[in-house]
């Protein structure tokens, strides 16, 4: 029996006439009960077998929901990760702790940021490492490169070689443009002498000794990874990107059982992505859940096992970019109940 959107809505209304249209686990379980009853009473043997199978799924769903009420285990809490920054170039990864970054030549300067409604934050003093110093720390890097900066919230930004060299718009304290260039792009680990600051522990800052004000969208916060890419001017097309799993349907322990209007997942699932780029090639694929970066993959197959303590409605976001810095994005709302 194929569960169409119309069947889903009808079953939900029969079970819960007061439904607000937002499907939580109780709505879905109720709908499945209704469908199971209809299939069993139909007299069709195949449908009766499906009804028995639905009973097993329902039992698992109820058990999972009960476990969520009392089980607050987080596997992530068991992992101690000291690496603050990953630097990549031509497939090689270089990891830096805070102490590693402080061992590099430090730089201190002041700067502020101007947001889209003309409000200025700062100028404040920042201490950290020049981006040029980080690039020079990697052997064999081409003198003209671009950067892809990745944040822990899944935000991805490309910076051109001109921007890396400080060629950005400068404003005064009133938000009036005063010129272009003359600032230092740095990775800050302290603000006003404090390491626990908003947007930290690492953020991109634009500073010098003259209190420059620059656009706030340049001040990337929660920096987790920086990818050094060769300056490629011939590729302007983003990679093709398709989320092949999960798609709309009921998933039980990584197996798709039958179609549904939305992905409904019980247990862990392997997220599969298909992406290609015929020009410069796919560099990285990012797997993001609710603005939290979960995994970065740089080699085929581009897949990630989603297995964590989680329940309810969530947004799965996939970002792929090529070696020229062109970005493709896909988002999928899912209902998931695991552990």
pLDDT, one tens digit per residue, over 229-265 is 988 777 889 999 999 999 999 999 999 999 999 999 9
pLDDT-above-90 percentage for the chain: 69
For residue 121, count other CB atoms closer than 10 A to its CB.
Answer: 14
CA contacts within 13 A on the Cβ side of 12: 20
Find, among 220, 185, 204, 189, the residue nearest to 100 by Cα: 189
Element (H, E) at 265: strand 263-266
**Range name among 18-32, 209-223, 258-272 with the lowest pLDDT average:** 18-32
Q: Rounded CA gap, 67 and 170, in Å?
A: 55
Mean pLDDT of 48-73: 49
Q: How confident is the model at residue 4 (pLDDT cuts 50, 70, 90)?
A: very low
Q: Rounded CA gap, 148 and 162, in Å?
A: 14
pLDDT, one tens digit per residue, over 266-275 is 999 999 999 9
pLDDT of residue 105: 97
DSSP 304-322: EEE-SSEEEEEEEEEEEEE
217: burial class by Cβ within 10 Å (0-12, 13-18, 19+)? exposed
Angle at 50 between CA 49 and CA 53, to 5 degrees: 90
Torsion 19-21-22-26 (CA) sign: positive
- The answer to whether residues 61 and 30 touch, using CB atoms and an 8 Å cutoff, is no
pLDDT, one tens digit per residue, over 307-332 is 999 999 999 999 999 999 999 999 99
pLDDT of residue 10: 41
Angle at 238 between CA 244 and CA 163, to 5 degrees: 135
Strand, helix or coil for residue 216: helix
| Higher-confidence position of 40 and 252 | 252
Query: What's the mean pLDDT when you consider all of the chain?
Result: 84
Find, among 336, 264, 339, 334, the residue nearest to 308 by Cα: 339
Q: Rounded CA gap, 144 and 90, in Å?
A: 14
**Range name among 48-62, 63-77, 159-173 with the lowest pLDDT average:** 63-77
Does pLDDT of 206 surpass 90? Answer: yes
DSSP 160-182: -HHHHTT-SEEE-TTS-EEEE--
pLDDT, one tens digit per residue, over 61-120 is 544 444 444 344 343 433 346 899 999 998 899 999 999 999 999 999 999 999 999 999
Find, among 91, 145, 156, the residue nearest to 297 by Cα: 91
pLDDT of residue 209: 95
| Higher-confidence position of 313 and 143 | 313
Find, among 185, 214, 198, the residue nearest to 123 by Cα: 214
Alpha-carbon separation of residue 253 from 250, 269, 306, 337 (angstroms): 10, 6, 11, 11
pLDDT of residue 19: 43
pLDDT of residue 153: 95
Q: How confident is the model at residue 124 (pLDDT cuts 50, 70, 90)?
A: very high
Here the tokens at position 214 are 């620059």
- The answer to whether residues 58 and 32 touch, using CB atoms and an 8 Å cutoff, is yes
| Higher-confidence position of 337 and 62 | 337
- Strand ordering across the sheet containing 107-114: 177-180, 169-171, 213-215, 107-114, 120-130, 184-191, 203-207
Say which residues have a Cβ less than 8 Å from residue 83's Cβ, sequence separation at least 6.
95, 96, 97
Find, among 153, 173, 265, 262, the residue nearest to 214 by Cα: 173
pTM above 0.95, yes or no: no
């Amino acid at each position: 029996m194929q569960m169409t959107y119309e069947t889903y809505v009808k079953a939900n209304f029969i079970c819960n006439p007061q439904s607000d249209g937002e499907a939580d686990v109780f709505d879905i379980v109720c709908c499945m009960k209704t469908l199971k009853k209809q299939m069993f009473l139909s007299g069709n043997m195949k449908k009766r077998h499906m009804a028995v199978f639905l009973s097993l799924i329902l039992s698992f769903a109820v058990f999972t929901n009960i476990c969520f009420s009392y089980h607050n285990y987080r596997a992530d809490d068991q992992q101690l990760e000291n690496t603050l920054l990953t630097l990549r170039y031509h497939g090689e990864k270089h990891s830096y702790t805070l102490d590693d970054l402080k061992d590099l030549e430090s730089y201190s300067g002041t700067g502020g940021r101007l947001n889209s409604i003309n409000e200025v934050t700062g100028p404040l003093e920042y201490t950290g490492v020049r981006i040029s110093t980080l690039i020079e720390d990697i052997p064999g890097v081409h003198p003209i490169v671009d950067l892809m900066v990745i944040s822990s919230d899944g935000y991805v930004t490309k910076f051109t070689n001109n921007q890396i060299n400080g060629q950005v718009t400068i404003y005064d304290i009133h938000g009036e443009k005063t010129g272009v260039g003359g600032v230092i792009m740095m990775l800050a680990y302290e603000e006003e002498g404090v390491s626990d600051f908003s947007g930290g522990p690492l953020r991109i800052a634009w500073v010098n000794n003259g209190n420059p004000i620059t656009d706030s969208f340049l001040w990337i916060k929660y920096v987790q990874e920086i990818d050094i890419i060769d300056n490629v001017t011939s590729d302007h097309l983003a990679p093709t990107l398709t989320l092949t799993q999960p798609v709309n349907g009921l998933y039980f322990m990584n197996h798709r059982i039958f179609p549904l209007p939305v992905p409904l997942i019980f247990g862990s699932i392997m997220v599969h992505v298909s992406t290609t780029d015929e020009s410069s090639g796919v560099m990285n694929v990012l797997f993001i859940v609710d603005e939290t970066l979960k995994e970065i993959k740089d080699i085929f197959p581009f897949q990630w096992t989603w297995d964590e303590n989680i329940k309810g409605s969530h947004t799965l976001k996939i970002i792929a970019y090529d070696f020229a810095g062109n970005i493709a994005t896909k988002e999928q709302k899912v209902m998931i109940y695991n552990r």
